[in-house]
Chain A
Amino acid sequence: MGTSASQLPKDLLSEYQELTFLTKQEILLAHKRFTELLAKDDRSCSNPRLPMSRILTLPELKSNPFKERICLVFSTSDNKDGSLTFEDFLDLLSAFSDSATSDIKSHYAFRIFDFDDDGTLDRKDLERLVNCLTGDTDETRLTSDEMKQLINNILEESDIDKDGTVNLSEFQHVISRSPDFVSSFKIVL
């Protein structure tokens, strides 16, 4: 990124344009927001990493119940702390952008919902997912009976091969039949 922190080189910009679903303006805006979040002394370093706690101060992510998962999924950091480089950040915005395909969105949605990173959504993942959706406090959680019934129903509907978990292709099958998903899986800066 060189010396001028607020400016992206032109060839890099066009490369980003080719590799993401973002437009030029969106990439520039993303870069601006990203450098704003960086600490002063980090700006000069060549490929700075933004720690998760800083990223979560973005108003677009701040109140999202899946915010930590989103960071963890898009982070390429080796020690799994959810920190993002600028390119990771672009990947995130690209997946959540308006023009990303339903395939790529559902892929990332699956990984966000896969809380234990084991490649399938099992009962525990589903329970955590539902808790995120309804709010994870004592008075907002579903009762355990309701939760049990709900998870049974979900598995009944979408676990086609009846192995007790929802895998990616089953998940994408559900998503492909829900027209609203693409419009709701969206974060725009």
Chain B
Amino acid sequence: MSWARERQTLDAGQIHYGPHQSLRLRERPSNSAVQRPPQFNWNADQPEEGAKGRPRNLKELPLPMELKKAIRQVQQMKVPVMSNWQSWKISKSKTMKRFLEESREVLAYVAPWRRTLHKIGGHFGGGVQSYFLFLRFLVVLNFLSFLLIAGFVLAPSIVFQSSPGNSETQNSIDQIECMIYSPEPQSLSVFYQYFLDLLTGMGFMEYSYLFYGFYNNTEMMNLQLSYNIPMAYLLTTAFYFIFCLICIVLRMGAVIRDVVKTGGRAVGGYSTLVFTAWDYGLQGNRATNLKQNNIRYQLQMDLEEERIRKVAASLTMAQTVRLYSLRAFLNLVVFGLIGAAFYAIFKATQFSQSQTGGDFLDLIVQYLPSIVITAANFLVPFLCDKIALLERHSPSTTVILALLRAVFLRLVSLGVLLFTLWNGITCNGVTESAACSVCQYNHKQYPCWETRVGQEMYKLTVFDFITVIAVMILVEFPRRMLVDHCPCKLAQFVGRQEFVVPQNVLGLVYGQTVVWTGALFCPLLPAINTIKFIIIFYCRKITLFQNCRPADRTFRSNSSNFFFLLVLLLGWSLATVALIYAAVMIHPSMGCGPFRFLSMMWSVVPDSLQLLSNSSRDFLYFMGSQAFCIPLFVLLCVVLCYIAALASIYGKTVSLLQSQLKMEGRDKQFLVKRIKELNSASRGKKR
């Protein structure tokens, strides 16, 4: 392309496809005007250039490379007048940008399972990929948490256990009875005992680094170094929670930015679907055909839905009343089911806590709460789904409703389990009762209650893992074999299993919540969970590629991502509330653990504050005082209000601009009509 010609095309005007060109182009679709490549206005950039000192990013111009190169050359010619400072700034920003790019590349390279995720996205679309991305996020989170705990609690404990010169605080205490705790297993045990112990976290597992009870209240006091294990234990856990919160919020922020940008609501279902539905990353004919089927199905469903809505709008009063009373009744049934599930969990936990023993039957009793929770979480959502069909909501509402019910069930069932345990530990909260009056907690049944809670969470984690594996081997795989090799109608009707993203994500959230709840009582649970999630990743990948067909309904990856994180945050808050309550309100057990001589876990923090120098202590007290907190709170409120106001103003601006566009469109149509009229009038005159 010659320079002159280039110049000419480029000077011709702004980047084309502006809104005002459309009418003209439709009126006169001559080829020469239409088939022109996008153009660039040389002069338009100049004010921007002057203001910013740096021209607009060339990457962001929708032009072919040749033109971009030419523009770049011109820009480079224009640059010279510049102070040293400016040129230094520019070169610095350039190196900075390059550094950022390179580090991003390295990160992308280090990130595990990149190719696998890419492949999954190519074969099953963004929805399923978002599940695996979420899983990877959890794996990384758990692994970092494990490093944190290993660095600050585990390693010091191991070192101080063996090194001399540490001082174990030995307070004189009068409640000798409370301190009896002998978790050492019997010397003679059957061979399968080890296996049982591994599953229940009892026996040889109980008194190990795995659980709270094993940690000592060692305080290392040297000239160079002082290390307080109880303090480290508590603060690490607190920091772990804050760390998780930050990770979730950061991830949420990235997602919510898009949601806010879109104004929280889509312009319209159909145009969004048609313009954005295609997933360009899909590879292979099978995936493409599936996606096409999906889109067709969705379009037909939406059109159908619209019809249903029209029918619903035209319902008579009596029909509406009947429909709503039916829905109310079905909701009652659902809540009855959920309530029954909670009661069953409560009873099962009570029963399993009151039993002690060591044989195989006991294993089942030990696992009873986990079994009941898993069964309830399998059965109740299944029934809810069936009930939802009767409710005659629109399909999208049905999906959301089913999810909300499942979330509620999952998280509250964990809450019920915790409540039952609390009931047993604190004698229903009445510390004056016979069993609890001596030690403030039920020391006969729970000599080291923290370890017990940790074991409970350990069992839940292990059982969850076992179910995932078992379902894969015993249900999903045979089903696929049956469907593939058995020609009978029933098998073909059942078909391959669908990979339902929301339910699977809920399972992950549940597992993570259990880990958080157990974090204080079983410090190595994040490590176990890391391994568990890694194995689950591979299992899911195998089932996905071997046994599954994609779901009929696609899930919009971004909007559902936000929902996943929200549910995760819910789980996080549940665990946090439970742990704060345990650290502040319940007396730590006196026979074991780092807090054995304290009246509550939290009191280790004020105690160690006393050891600090005066100024730093005063500073910390000031940070915690009302004089600091209230102004901070007020300031945050003001900032929040400001941001909320800003957001609403943007929203208003959007609608204002929209109406302005409409007006302009009308003006334009009016003018076009006038021109046509005048044209025909003048033509008539000529004749």
Contacts and interface: CB of A to CB of B under 8 A. Distances in A.
Interface of A: 15, 17-21, 23-25, 59-60, 62-66, 74, 76, 80, 87-88, 90-91, 94-96, 100-101, 103-104, 107-111, 113, 117-120, 122, 126, 129-130, 132-135, 140, 142, 146, 149-150, 153-154, 156-158, 160-163, 165-171, 173-188
A76 B67 CA distance: 11
A100 B21 CA distance: 26
Contact of B21 (A65, A119, A132): A119
Contact of B274 (A59, A76, A154): A154
A178 B283 contact: no
B18 A168 contact: yes
Given A119-B16, A177-B265, 15 more contacts: A62-B283, A63-B288, A110-B17, A118-B26, A119-B34, A133-B292, A133-B296, A161-B19, A161-B662, A162-B669, A168-B18, A174-B276, A179-B258, A179-B559, A187-B281
Top 6 A-B residue pairs of the complex, sorted by shortest distance between their CB atoms: A161-B665, A157-B268, A87-B65, A179-B258, A134-B296, A135-B292
A134 B258 contact: no
Interface stretch (B54-62, B202-210, B463-471): B54-62
A101 B60 contact: yes
A119 B267 CA distance: 22
Contacts of B292: 65, 133-135, 140
A161 B299 contact: no
A108 B275 CA distance: 12
B271 A104 contact: no
A82 B35 CA distance: 14
A136 B185 CA distance: 71
Contacts of B104: 23
Interface string B53-85: 000001110101110110010000000000000
B281 A188 contact: yes
Contacts of A162: 662, 665-666, 669
Given A18-B72, A63-B287, A183 B557 contact: yes
B553 interface: no
26 contacts: A17-B101, A65-B292, A104-B60, A107-B17, A109-B275, A119-B25, A132-B278, A133-B274, A133-B277, A146-B303, A149-B303, A154-B268, A157-B267, A157-B271, A160-B661, A160-B665, A167-B21, A169-B18, A174-B267, A176-B261, A179-B556, A179-B558, A180-B276, A184-B281, A185-B276, A188-B118
A51 to B, nearest CB: 18
B6 interface: no
A163 B668 contact: yes
Contact of B558 (A107, A157, A180): A180
Contact of B65 (A91, A104, A173): A91
Given A19-B65, A113-B275, A135-B289, A173 B664 contact: no
Contacts of A166: 271
B137 interface: no
A158 B616 CA distance: 61
Interface in B249-268: 255, 258-259, 261-263, 265-268
B658 interface: yes
Nearest to A91: B65
B105 interface: yes
Contact of B278 (A158, A163, A184): A184
A103 B557 CA distance: 20
B380 interface: no
Interface residues of B, number: 77
A13 to B, nearest CB: 13
B348 to A, nearest CB: 42
Contacts of B262: 176-179
B103 to A, nearest CB: 11
A23 B69 contact: no
Interface in B18-38: 18-19, 21-23, 25-26, 29, 34-35, 37
B553 to A, nearest CB: 14
A110 B15 CA distance: 14
B558 A120 contact: no
A170 B65 contact: no
Contacts of A95: 62
A168 B19 contact: yes
B126 A180 contact: yes
B295 to A, nearest CB: 5
B261 A150 contact: no
Contacts of B35: 80, 117
A119 B669 contact: no
B418 to A, nearest CB: 36
Given A142-B299, A142-B300, A94 B275 contact: no
A100 B258 CA distance: 15
A179 B259 contact: yes
A56 to B, nearest CB: 13
A174 B17 contact: no
A149 B301 CA distance: 13
B271 A154 contact: yes
B284 interface: yes
A96 B280 contact: yes
A118 B25 contact: yes
A167 B64 contact: no
Interface in B636-668: 658, 661-662, 664-666, 668
B37 A76 contact: yes
B272 A174 contact: yes
Contacts of B72: 15, 18-19
A168 B661 CA distance: 13
B270 A157 contact: yes
A158 to B, nearest CB: 4
Contact of B66 (A74, A87, A119, A133): A87
Contacts of A74: 64
B284 A63 contact: yes
B206 to A, nearest CB: 47
Contacts of B186: none
B163 interface: no
Interface in B589-629: none
A21 B58 CA distance: 10
Given A161-B664, A161-B666, A91 B64 contact: yes
A111 B69 CA distance: 22
A187 B29 contact: no
A20 to B, nearest CB: 6
B338 interface: no
B432 interface: no
Contact of A120 (B22, B278, B279, B280): B22
Contacts of A132: 278
A118 B34 contact: yes
B282 interface: yes
Contacts of A96: 280
A111 B299 CA distance: 23
B48 to A, nearest CB: 15
Interface string B222-249: 0000000000000000000000000000
Interface string B214-225: 000000000000
B267 A177 contact: yes
A154 B258 CA distance: 23
Nearest to B559: A179
